[in-house]
Amino acid sequence: MTLSLLIVQLLNGLQFGVLLFLVAAGLTLVFGVMDFINLAHGVQYMLGAYLAVTFVSLTGSFLLGLALALAAALLLGLALEFLVFRHLYERDHLDQVLATFGLILLLNQAVKMIWGAAPLSVPVPEFLSGNVRLMDGILYPVYRFALIAAGLSVGALLWFVVEKTRTGMLLRAGASNAPMVSALGVDIRKLFMIVFAFGTMLAGFAGAMAAPILSVEPGMGDTVLILAFVVIVVGGIGSIRGAFVGALIVGLVDTLGRSSMNDLLRLFMAPASARATGAALSSMLIYLVMAAVLFVKPEGLLPAKGRS
Amino acid sequence: MASTSSASTAPVARPVAPMVRRLAPLVIFTLLALLPLASALGLPGHWLTLVTRAMIVAIAALSLDLVLGIGGLISFGHAAYIGIGAYGTGILITEGRTELLVALPVVLLACAVFATITGYVSLRTRGVAFIMITLAFGQMAFYFAQALSAYGGDDGLTLYEKSTLLGREIFGNRTGFYYIALGTLAVCYWLVRRLVASRFGRVLRAARENAVRVTVTGYDVNHVRLGAYVISGMMAGLSGLLLANQTDFVSPAYMSWPRSGELIFMVVLGGVGSLYGSILGALAFLVTEDVLSSLTQNWKVIFGPLIVLFVLFTHGGIAGLVTKLRGRRDG
Amino acid sequence: MAEPALALKGLAKSFGALKVTNGVDLAIAPGELHALIGPNGAGKTTLVHQISGTLRPDSGAILFGGQDITRLPPQARARAGLARTFQITSTIASLSALENVALGVQAHSAHPLSLFRDAASDEALNAPAWEALEAVGLAERAHAPAGSLSHGEKRALEIAMALTLQPKLILLDEPLAGVGHEEGERLIALLNSLKGRFAMLLVEHDMSAVFALADRVTVLVYGGVIASGEPAAVRADPAVRQAYLGEEG
């Protein structure tokens, strides 16, 4: 692989990692603070994308559409929380897994019914279109840079909130020991709702931002969900820093793995089957990495302090 | 209450297992054995095929109940073993080896190896990490099957022959297949029951409740869990072998993660840990799926909420419900 | 002393800057009932964890009947004859009292993980289990689920479970905590009846129990031993009195 291609793939890996971070951050917070396994988190990502499709085409403006999509995603998330999730906080993990699994079935199908099964897309906004010239011969899309920038800023904002504010302190305390926080008189329900709203918005934002560069289709949240779980397991449950590091690792390994696997297999296979086999084998790569990490450090790379 | 006599008095009789737990399996298997008679009396053959498929899947659900219900390990990648069993059988058939006496050990060995390796790694984690890592391993198997372009890749592999036993065709007849599936299910059920009642089973059950206590009593809990995991994987592989023969088709979709989720649902639907409940769960699930999907293409929109409502409003599944009803009647 | 049942040599453990176990030396003779006392926060539970194997010491050695077990995992120590009871009662709630005890017998048997023999009706497991239950006075509650036993009964059950390990030493971690007066008296009588069969390390706060039962007493303060010897001598020791000033003596 040439240097320019390598740089492009590195940037792609970074961009994918940032996207995963946004989804995983919400997931790890919800699981870390509320001990709630939410398999439907991927669906929230998918809804963000679909809502972006609708609102951007309705308003004609990317930014306005994005804002509306976020608001709608938040509302839907809160509705789900009210109707289903809050009844599951006290239940054991098995019940949570099952109930949110049922939600995935429902919402994937509902999305198919409302928007149709064909893949949709959002046009890249004017002010973010075009390419940037990095070095000689390397052009990289402006939008992807914007995505990286947006994701990193959200990450920085999240870091600020979690490390420097009182709400953040409660979140970190809750991630280590939720009953204790409750016993200290904090309204745990309000804290849960804030955490949940945060998480939902992050996922929806990721979905909406991803819409212009990925194909928006039913079930798009499922792979992302599994990868997000891999991220938080690798990074350490309840840890935002862990989610960040984990997401970058997963993003880079996955992207670089795919492209190099493709090149490798093309050496002795026909291009079409090389691509198919390559895609499959490189999908396995991430899980091998996860298995290796868990083998050496079962609690993850950067576990939240205080968690066993 | 210090006992004053040192001589061993006749021990108080051990309480007998509740009626339901003893009768329910008998009722289930009897009804299943009689179903083909109904078919002879006019029940559409479609039902026989459906129940055969349900029994085959029930073998996998039963195996999952062993690790999940009895062992307390939420494995979200169990469909992988069905896939390994199906692919093992399918590949052998495609290569001209239809003999069951070859396919069976191959399938069991493949599942045992996969279960040992993935189980060993997975058991280093607990809780959510365990669920996710089993899910991830299931995905690995799924992607591996997709990569098998020589054997159909993502499109799957059609089988033009069925497995034979000592050269004899045993899967050709629909009623014959039904009874083979029923017989296999019955044997598996008996095996799992014995296992749970054994010394090994007692340690597994105790470890689910209090792993620390079991450890300081002198057991290696991970060894026991791994053992259960491997046995369970092999049994699910057997299910895959039968499934390939019933559908004449193997595909990566057999081990997709929604399939693993459905297996979990069957176990929970029937009643976690009840063992016979997972058979009921598989039957209920597949029949419901069949009925709903014939009504509308968008049946998942109904099925999804059903699962959610089921989880929110019930506890203990069908087995729990039956026990409760019986309890009320007995006063 | 002949080879001690348990010997701690220079055991040390720190959590960050906090020295929770500060160079502890201890020796318990076979058959001796040795009490470990000390104010709250003295590090008694941490010491118990290190002896039973759930916590690894930073330095020092633990010798069990002469054998160095410092690196051995908990299940191996159990198999070697080091039994323990728990400060927070830890039994298998859904199994009957008999089954709980039989589980311990099973661990020692020739085929602890046999796949086919029915466990519940196995006389080879049940007979020793009955014996242990009778020794602690729980024979009548044999078939009750362990979760339904009273607090004192659960403690007695734990002791029965420890008995089945054919122990050379039983670690008793505050067996009287939270137990009412009458049941407490019964537990003390039970422990007395077991004295001499094996060594016991009794970690306790209840001073009357300690001085009624112990052959020797060791006092732990801030992770270090400040006194060790016969109960009467320890009671009179001025350093001990000062450590316990304000505490119920």
Nearest Cα residue in chain B from C97: B14
- Is residue B309 pLDDT above 60, yes or no? yes
Task: Tell me the per-residue pLDDT of A145-164, one tens digit each, with 9 for 90 and over.
Answer: 899 999 899 888 888 887 78
Say yes or no for a CB contact (<8 Å) between C119 and B9. no
From chain B, the residues in CB contact with C85 under 8 A are none
From chain C, the residues in CB contact with B201 under 8 A are 119
Say yes or no for a CB contact (<8 Å) between B129 and A284. no
Chains A and C touch (3+ CB pairs under 8 A): no
Weakest mean pLDDT among A212-226, A277-291, C63-77, C211-225:
A277-291
Chain C closest CA to B257's CA: distance in Å?
Answer: 31
Weakest mean pLDDT among A122-131, B133-142, B255-264, B318-327:
B318-327
- Is residue B2 pLDDT above 50, yes or no? no
> CB count, 10 Å around CB of B130?
21
Contact C74/B at CB under 8 A: yes
How large is the average pLDDT for residues C149-155?
Answer: 89
pLDDT in the model for residue C57:
92
Share of chain B above pLDDT 90, in %: 54
How large is the average pLDDT for residues B240-265?
Answer: 94
pLDDT in the model for residue B325:
66
Residue with the larger pLDDT of the pair B59 and A298: B59
Task: Tell me the per-residue pLDDT of A33-75, one tens digit each, with 9 for 90 and over.
Answer: 788 889 899 999 999 999 999 999 998 888 899 999 999 999 9
Strands C199-203, C33-37: pairing kind: parallel
The minimal CB distance from B197 to the residues C113, C118, C134 is found for C118
Test mutation, C69, C100, C106, chain B, max B CBs within 10 A: C106
Task: Tell me the per-residue pLDDT of B56-115, one tens digit each, with 9 for 90 and over.
Answer: 999 999 999 999 999 999 999 999 999 999 999 999 999 988 899 999 999 999 999 999
pLDDT in the model for residue B15:
64
pLDDT in the model for residue A196:
86
Count of pairs with CB atoms under 8 A, one residue in A, one in B = 135
Provide the pLDDT confidence category of residue B6 given band limits of 50, 70 and 90.
Answer: very low
Chains B and A touch (3+ CB pairs under 8 A): yes
pLDDT in the model for residue B49:
92
pLDDT in the model for residue C7:
93
| Secondary structure, 3-state, chain A | CCHHHHHHHHHHHHHHHHHHHHHHHHHHHHHHHHCCCCCCHHHHHHHHHHHHHHHHHHHCCHHHHHHHHHHHHHHHHHHHHHHCHHHCCCCCHHHHHHHHHHHHHHHHHHHHHHHCCCCECCCCCHHHCCEEECCCCCEEEHHHHHHHHHHHHHHHHHHHHHHHCHHHHHHHHHHHHHHHHHHCCCCHHHHHHHHHHHHHHHHHHHHHHHCCCCCECCCHHHHHHHHHHHHHHHHCCCCHHHHHHHHHHHHHHHHHHHHHHHHHHHCCCCHHHHHHHHHHHHHHHHHHHHHHHHHHCCCCCCCCCCCC
Q: What single-letter amino acid sits at A203? A: A
pLDDT in the model for residue A30:
84
How large is the average pLDDT for residues C78-87?
Answer: 84
Cβ–Cβ < 8 Å for A46, A24: no
The minimal CB distance from B128 to the residues A226, A237, A279 is found for A237
From chain C, the residues in CB contact with B217 under 8 A are 75, 78, 103-104, 107, 161, 165
Chain B residues within 8 A (CB-CB) of chain A? 68, 74, 76, 121, 124-125, 127-129, 131-133, 135-137, 139-140, 143-144, 146-147, 149, 153-154, 257-258, 261, 264-265, 268, 272, 298, 300-301, 303-308, 310-312
pLDDT in the model for residue B7:
39
- Is residue A81 pLDDT above 80, yes or no? yes
Weakest mean pLDDT among B125-139, B199-213, C131-145:
B125-139
Specify the long-range contacts of residues B30-36, CB closer than 8 Å, at least 24 apart. Answer: B32/B182, B32/B185, B33/B182, B35/B178, B36/B175, B36/B178, B36/B179
pLDDT in the model for residue B296:
85
Partner chains of C (3+ C-beta pairs under 8 Å): B
Residue with the larger pLDDT of the pair A136 and C61: C61
Residue with the larger pLDDT of the pair A5 and C67: C67
Residue with the larger pLDDT of the pair C84 and A103: A103
pLDDT in the model for residue B30:
92
pLDDT in the model for residue B120:
92
Nearest Cα residue in chain A from B308: A99
Residue with the larger pLDDT of the pair C57 and C86: C57
The minimal CB distance from C113 to the residues B3, B14, B200 is found for B200
Provide the pLDDT confidence category of residue A308 given band limits of 50, 70 and 90.
Answer: very low
Q: What is the mean pLDDT of chain B?
A: 87
Task: Tell me the per-residue pLDDT of A188-203, one tens digit each, with 9 for 90 and over.
Answer: 777 788 888 888 999 9
Test mutation, C49, C92, C101, C158, chain B, max B CBs within 10 A: C92
Residue with the larger pLDDT of the pair C84 and B187: B187
Interface of C with B in 178-207 (CB under 8 A): 186, 189-190
> CB count, 10 Å around CB of C59?
13
Say yes or no for a CB contact (<8 Å) between A287 and B139. yes
pLDDT in the model for residue B10:
46
State which H helix or E strand residue C229 sits in.
strand C224-229
> CB count, 10 Å around CB of C92?
24
Q: What is the mean pLDDT of chain C?
A: 88
**For residue A120, which phi and psi values (nearest 5 degrees)?**
-115, 170
What burial class does residue C35 get, using C-beta atoms within 10 Å of its C-beta: 0-12 exposed, 13-18 middle, 19+ buried? buried
pLDDT in the model for residue B329:
47
* Structure token pair of residue C158: 């734990």
